[in-house]
Chain A
Amino acid sequence: MTAAAPAPSPDPAEPVLRVAGLDVSFAIDGGSAKAVDGVGFQLTRGRTLALVGESGCGKSLTALAVLGLVPRPGRIGAGSVRYHGRELTSLDDRALRGIRGNAIAMVFQEPMTSLNPVYTVGDQIAEAYRLHFSASAREARAEAVSMLDHVGIADAQNRARAYPHQLSGGMRQRAMIAMALVCRPDVLIADEPTTALDVTIQGQILDLILAMQKENGMAVLFISHDLGVVSEVADDVAVMYAGTIVEQTPAASLFAAPRHPYTRGLIETLPGTTPPGGRLPAIPGVVPDFRRRPKGCRFSDRCSLADGHCRDASPPPAVSGGAVSCWKADAP
């Protein structure tokens, strides 16, 4: 399959990817529940948007929805995903396959399980290349080796012949990144790419992603639960809670002056940000299951500022930069 190179955007400030009003729903007894509800954001060339939130908030589902890979029985209920202005949600699977791994590529959390254990990493990278470019096996192989070399794997020629289990965790994630980048995508979705790695290796992988981005100017959607990591890589941050984006803003202002009570809580509860010892500020309660969310603002049952209005009416989701989804934002 040969896919045309992505059409260059006429206006460099025009977003590469624009997501709006995205719902991902699952059928439950007598109806459906939205695991992702009205999510909107845009990715710009050369910039990184971090989607941050706790487990179960819908951040990974959002990423999979962009690629049309929502696992059954979930489905995209509403919304639009536009890549260079082209609507992806209405494309059939065949057309979407031309985009996946080619224009929009993805890196996952667990490089051990995300690589196929029975094929060499070289074969898996070459496969990604041949799915989108007409190339001989030999050409694809050479491309894979040069990509492995490019992501900092020494002795790439030989390492290409290694099976995933023969590589260390850091090497595997480099191989994953090589596989994602071999078709020179202009959007990279990185879903918790360093969560399974040790902290010194995490630093190397973050450097690698930033270096690759600098080199080819791709837009990065960086998904993480770790605000520390997010603060190291993000230009913009969207905070997700219970299926919606509750706050979306440039990273610097988010960490300097968080406006949503949930964002504030997340930052304050980080053990590294407070003086040692003593009690950590804590957010009471747990993230609600997506089938049993509270009425009104989803955070109202855990929020110290919530009043009757918060429990009755949902604030509009934060779908663009500088927005916050809270009736009490900026309250003292």
Chain B
Amino acid sequence: MIRFLAGRTVQAASVLLLMSFVIYGLMGLMPGDPIDLMISADPKMTSEDAVRLRKLYGLDQPITERYANWLAAAVGGDLGYSRLYAKPVLDVLFPALGNTVRLLAISFLLSLAIALPMGILAAMRPYSRFDYSVNLAAFAGISVPSFWLALILIIVFSVTFNLLPAGGTGTLSEGGIWETARYLVLPVANLVIVSVGGHTRYTRAAMIEALRQDYIRTARAKGAGPARVVLKHALRNAMIPVVTIIALDFGMLFSGALITETIFASPGMGKLIFDAIMGSDFNLALVGLLFATTLTLVGNLLADIAYARLDPRISYR
């Protein structure tokens, strides 16, 4: 188990390293650099100033050189400053990360809490009216673009009925838990609606497959009742593929969260990265994207552990 985890951590670190290079390179390919922005913001700056500043910040060096310098600093724990917020990037990122993780965790758990029972019930009576309804709803959720849904939710619940805030966030100190929760309702609903359909369909498909297996017949022949057959014998087997697919989907959910936060003006990673890119705050964007990558990698690692725990045929080697 320790070896397995160590191996996977090394693997994740290499992915992260590769991603940092790719993202750094992409940033470098973007038109304009911070100095251009300074020039446009400050008409008194001359082109000599610009050359001097470029040299000062090392922007005149080739990109590989700059990357190497950045990497050396980053490994040493110095992730640099955010130009936009004029703070160390970590000070900016951590609160945003907290918000995003909270949004993701609530949406993810809620989606599973709906998808698992729905998928199981639909699989127990495939092609029944209930199954058709579940499928229809699931397809509707899958088909809806999340940005469009977010706007509709805002129009209906914030503008027309004025029930919930359209964006922003509450803080515990101001309005207590309920006030904070009110700000989360629409973003969470948005994410749940777009992800629950897929989760339900995976669960249903895996359960139908599991319920068709010979060991289900064996369990029934032993005298096991329907609840035991479904929840003990079929579910655990069905969860093996479901965990894998949902973990792969986690990246999707994450990018959904980024869009959702941007639309609901919720101060999370999504909005931060968006603002950083739009404001050419390269360092913040870079580190933000790497944090996002890490989050996805951690999600996948957790899924691998869950997978190996569910299936005794998988050994940690």
Q: Which of A285-329 contact B (CB under 8 A)?
A: none
Chain A residue contacts of B312, Cβ below 8 A: 117-118, 163, 165
Give the contacting residue for A117; candidates B225, B226, B313; CB below 8 A. B313
Q: Are A100 and B223 in contact (CB under 8 A)?
A: yes
Complex Cα distance, B219 from A127, in Å, reads: 9
Measured as residues with beta carbon below 8 angstroms from the partner, the interface class of chain A is 20 to 34
The reply to whether B233 and A128 contact each other, CB–CB distance below 8 Å, is: no
Q: Contact: B313 with A163, CB < 8 Å?
A: yes
CB distance from A223 to the nearest CB of B (A): 13
Q: How would residues 34 to 70 of chain A score, 1 for a CB under 8 Å from any chain B CB and 0 otherwise?
A: 0000000000000000000000000000001001010
Kindly list chain B residues whose C-beta atoms are within 8 Å of the C-beta of A115: 215, 218
Complex: A67 Cα to B222 Cα, angstroms: 10
Residue from A93, A110, A113, A131 in contact with B222 in the complex, judged by beta carbons closer than 8 Å = A131
Knowing A114-B214, A117-B215, A163-B313, say if A106 contacts B224 (CB, 8 Å): no
Q: Point out the residues of chain A lying under 8 angstroms from B236, CB to CB.
A: 118
Complexed CA–CA distance, A101 and B213 (Å): 18
Given known contacts A117-B312, A118-B312, A69 and B218 CB-to-CB distance under 8 angstroms:
no
In the complex the two chains form, what is the Cα distance from A183 to B240 in whole Å? Answer: 31
Q: A118 touching B311 by the CB < 8 A rule?
A: yes
Interface string of B252-292 (1 = CB under 8 A from A): 00000000000000000000000000000000000000000
Q: Does A97 contact B (CB under 8 A)?
A: yes
Rounded to whole Å, the gap between the CB of B137 and the closest CB of chain A is 24
Contact, CB under 8 Å: A69 / B237: no
B214 near A106 with CB under 8 A, answer no
- Indicate if the CB atoms of A99 and B223 lie closer than 8 Å: yes
List of A residues within 8 angstroms of B222 by Cβ:
100-101, 105, 127-128, 131, 179
Max chain B Cβ within 10 angstroms of own Cβ: one of A98, A116, A132: A116
Bound: A148/B226 CA distance, A: 27
Chain A proximity mask over B218-240: 1 for CB below 8 Å, otherwise 0: 11111111100000010011001
CB distance from B212 to the nearest CB of A (A): 9
- Select B214's contact among A64, A102, A108, beta carbons within 8 Å: A108
Please give me the residue from chain B that is nearest to A165 by CB atom.
B313
Q: Assess A127 versus B237: contact at CB under 8 Å? Given A113-B213, A116-B215, A118-B311.
A: no
The A91-131 residues at the B interface (CB cut-off 8 A) are 93-94, 97-102, 105-106, 108, 110, 113-118, 127-128, 131
Query: In the assembled complex, which residues on chain A have CB atoms less than 8 Å from the CB atom of B220?
Result: 69, 100
Are B221 and A69 in touch, CB under 8 angstroms?
Answer: yes
For residue B87, CB closer than 8 A to chain A, the reply is: no
The interface residues of chain A lying within 8 Å CB-to-CB of B219 are: 116
Bound complex: CA of A118 vs CA of B231, how far in Å? 13
Q: Are A127 and B214 in contact (CB under 8 A)?
A: no
What's the Cα separation between A69 and B223 when bound, in Å? 10
Report the Cα distance A113→B221, complex, angstroms.
Answer: 14
Contact indicator A127/B313 (Cβ below 8 Å): no
* Chain B residues with CB under 8 A of A165: 312-313
User: Quick check: B214 and A113 within 8 Å, CB to CB?
Assistant: yes
A94 to B225, CA, bound (A): 8
C-alpha gap A102/B223 in the complex (Å): 7
Within 8 A of B (CB), among A70-102: 93-94, 97-102
* Besides A116-B233, A128-B223, 6 other A-B contacts (C-beta < 8 A): A93-B225, A101-B221, A117-B311, A132-B223, A165-B313, A179-B218
Binding site for A on B (CB under 8 A): 213-215, 217-226, 233, 236-237, 240, 310-313
Chain A interfacial positions (CB closer than 8 Å to B): 1, 64, 67, 69, 93-94, 97-102, 105-106, 108, 110, 113-118, 127-128, 131-132, 163, 165, 176, 179
The 4 closest A-B pairs by CB, nearest first: A101-B222, A101-B223, A113-B214, A100-B223
9 residue pairs from A and B, CB less than 8 Å apart: A100-B221, A100-B223, A114-B218, A116-B218, A118-B312, A131-B223, A131-B224, A163-B312, A165-B312
